Each structure stands twice: as C-alpha cells, then as structure tokens.
Structure 1
Amino acid sequence: MNYRILLLFLVISFVACSKANDEGILAAFDNNLNYDAKLKVNIASIYKSNPLMRIKINDQIVSSSITARTPYPGGGYNTNGNSLGSYLSVPPGKVKVSIMVPFISDSLKRNQDSILLYSAEVNLTQGKYYSLHISDTAAQTKSVLFEESLVVPNDTLPYFKFVNLMPNVPAIDLYFGTTVVAQNIKYLESSSEFTVDINSTSTAWSIRPAGSLPTATAIATYTSASTLTRNRKYTAFAMGYSGLAGATEVRRPFVAFYLVK
C-alpha cells in the first residue's frame, strides 16, 4: 500500500512539474518578488506566419506563449495583451532579453528554442521602470529601450508618449481627432510626453506619414474611450508595415496603446 501511495505521489509530482514547465512560468522573475528593476517587453516584431513566441530573461523563460502586438506583461488597447500596467521584476544590471519560438511537436522540448528570433542585452538601473520595444523581423530586427516615469503631474488628465515602430515609415505624425499631438517621430524614436482634452467628443487616434495634411488617408486608426482615463499614463505606438491590408493580414499597420501606469 505504501509503495502504491509513493508511486501515485511521484506521478502527480511529475505531471505538476511538467505542466508548470509547459506554461513557461518561472518564479525567479515573478512580479511578487522584490527585484529592483521593472521591465515591459513590447513585441512589435511580426511575421506573416504569426508564430507563438516566448520571452526569455537571462536564458530563462518568463512568459507564456504569446503572439506579436503583445506588450508583456500587462497590455493595453488594440493589442493582444490584457489591459493591466504590469511589469516583470528583474535583477538590475546587464540583462539578456530574447524572444523565441518554442518546440511544439515534442513535449520534452517545449521549453527549448525551436527558433531564436532575437536577442539583445540591456542595462537596467535599480529602482527604475523600462519598456523594451522589439520591431521588424529576421536580420532587420531591432530594439530600443526607454525609461518610464510613473509620475502623473496632474491626476485629472491622462498622459501619453508615442513610439514609431513601423520599419517602412521613416517618420510619423500621431493625430487625436484632427489635432497633431506627436509630430515627425522617426523610426525607433519616442515623442515627448503630452496630454489631450479628456472632455473631447472625439476618441479617434490616427497615424499619417510626417507632414501629411489631417485630411490625408491615415495609415491606421483606432477609437476607444479607454484611452482617455484620467490619472493614467499610456504609450501609443505604431507598428506593422504600411501598404499591407486585409483583415487576415497580421502585418498590417496598427496604432495601439499600452499602460505605463
């Protein structure tokens, strides 16, 4: 009887461990731990096949399987993530960040790299918050790291920054309604912080090539009242490839938002 109980315990333990590994959950980077640097990874690197990907920190898996247009952890609006302003807790100093496609056909290899899509090293400072944006594909993949401020100068307003992550649009203007709120933002660059009228009757955001008239055809648009919540900070970002279209074309242009705070 004792032998059978022991055998059952071992089987249950093995299944539980396998499930945890299959989900890619590692306590070493859990947000409940008090590491001193916080990191959000915004995957704007999008392939035609739209593969499931995982994020690694220092060669350890820290995410479940996700697709492009996903700020992780957390998310925002017009993304594939949730609507929380979460960050990964990571050790300060030099940190290796990778995105990879895991094996899917062999359960014994599901936490190994089938394809390593991109890897970069970033330096994170104790007590600070960061967003790492990853854009374009294959040998052209690039990343840019921005420090985030969680300070809201006026708690009756929402605050924004805009990042251009569109490889084939050298510079972009971001519009709120018919008003330019971020102008001539070059690829892999960010605007300064700005705010908008929270009582505006328009909640439409659009992106156009820098210098275009407000009446020119937008590259992409998005409308949501959720982007006008007071006492919040957002990053708006443009991603995808101008000129691609169609509901099934995952690489088409998007303007999207994630929560900084």
Structure 2
Amino acid sequence: MQSMPQLGVGTFRLEGEVARKTVSDALSTGFRHIDTAQFYGNEEEIGNAIQTAGLPREELFVTTKVWHDHLDKGHFIPSVHESLNKLKMAYVDLLLIHWPSPNDHIPMESYLASLKQAKEEGLTRHIGVSNFTMAQIDKAVEILGEGEILTNQVELHPFMQNRQVVEHCKQAGISTTAYMPFAVGEVMKNDELKAIADAHGANPAQVVLAWMEVKGIHAIPSSTNKDHLQANFDYTAVTLSEDDVARIDELDNGERIVDPDFAPQWD
C-alpha cells in the first residue's frame, strides 16, 4: 500500500478533457498522487485517466474531498459513494473535509463521525482535513482521537508560510499538505527565488518544492503543461543549502490568495 507521496498533482480548476489529459500526462511522468475534490467537478475525468493508465491500484495514492454541502448525515456517505463511482474505484487513499462547516452549520462532531464511518466502511484508507485552523485541529483531534488525522491541507507557499499551523499540526502528529505551492505562478517572478534557482541550474518551482521537502511539507502543485509536470517531478535534483532555506524563509509576508466568504477565522 502506498503512503502519501511527498509530491502530488493538484487538479483544482481543471475541467473536462484538460483534467483527463493532465492526469494522464502526470501518471506517465511518474506522479502517483492525484488530488481532486467533489467541488472540482472533474472526478469522472480523473477516473478515466487513471483507468486508461492501467497502473496497479496499490501504486496510486488518490485524494478527494467532501464539499460542505454534503457534510450532513444524510448526504455525507452517499456523496463519497458518488465520488468513488466517478473515480471508478472501490476506495480512495485519503478522504478530506474540504472546508470546516461554515459558521458550524453542521456540528464538527457530526461530520467527523461520518468521515470516520467512511474509513471504517473501507471507502477510504486515510482521513484528514483541509483549511482547518489550529483551534479546529485541536477540536478534531479531541473528537477523533490522536493518530486518526493524516494531514491538514492548507494554502502554503513562500509568501504565506502558515508556520504556526504547520508547527501546531506537527505537534499533533499531523502532516501539512500545501496547495497553491507556487502562489498561482508568483514564485516564477520572484527575484530571490530566481537567483537561488539559477545557482542550482533549476527553476523557481523546483526550488520551492525542494524547500517544502526540507520543511517536511507535502505539496500538490497544479500544471497542465507536460514539460512543467516533468520539471516539478525532477525537483529532487535540487539540494538547497541552509542559506538558501533561510533566504526563502524570509519571503513570508502573509499574502493569502484563497479566502472565500465561508472561510474560518484564519490564524
């Protein structure tokens, strides 16, 4: 059974044939972690790409997320079955709560019980959360018990490093997974990252992925370009010095990109 790879492919905003082709290209490049969500509307295309690739199921690590419209008792498990039907799988490797219930409309005790039920029924191997604050992480651990939550998936990139949340999760034995690790392309324009990349014969995206590995943070960058997918996959050729890491650490300015009106009160 595959443990969560350090690097995966994000599929937010990828639709239809673009989603199918991107996942197909990613799998042929060597990626084995594919991240999707009910909200993305592309589970079916991703399922098609995975099926066509014909890889052994145990080599793959597939993540999907339950949208907040499905958090109530009556919809949660049926929505997971629907995701599995679209993905053409008997189970996913990781099932996440995509966002905490807005304004606690659905009590956390209720939807985390459903999340645990999905695991007990074999619909997912691991469970986790996304966009949870430190207080919400504490409450989730209190409800589920220690060792149940695999990861907290949050926005994280050099300009918004979310250090408190990362450290808080680490103390609770929970990994952090970074979405939007390239800050929607902004890392490619940053002079400091470009300088570090040039010194290593690499690109800024590879530098950021190497930095995340040093920090013990999983990453799920998104790209529809096969050459970029290959470059992302090859980031392990970059070995950063302590000075490089310190220079990237200094880029943190709290620049948040994802902040919908239903988001929790961020730390």
Give TM-score scaled by structure 1 length: 0.25
Higher strand content, 1 or 2: 1
Higher helix content, 1 or 2: 2
Give TM-score scaled by structure 2 length: 0.25
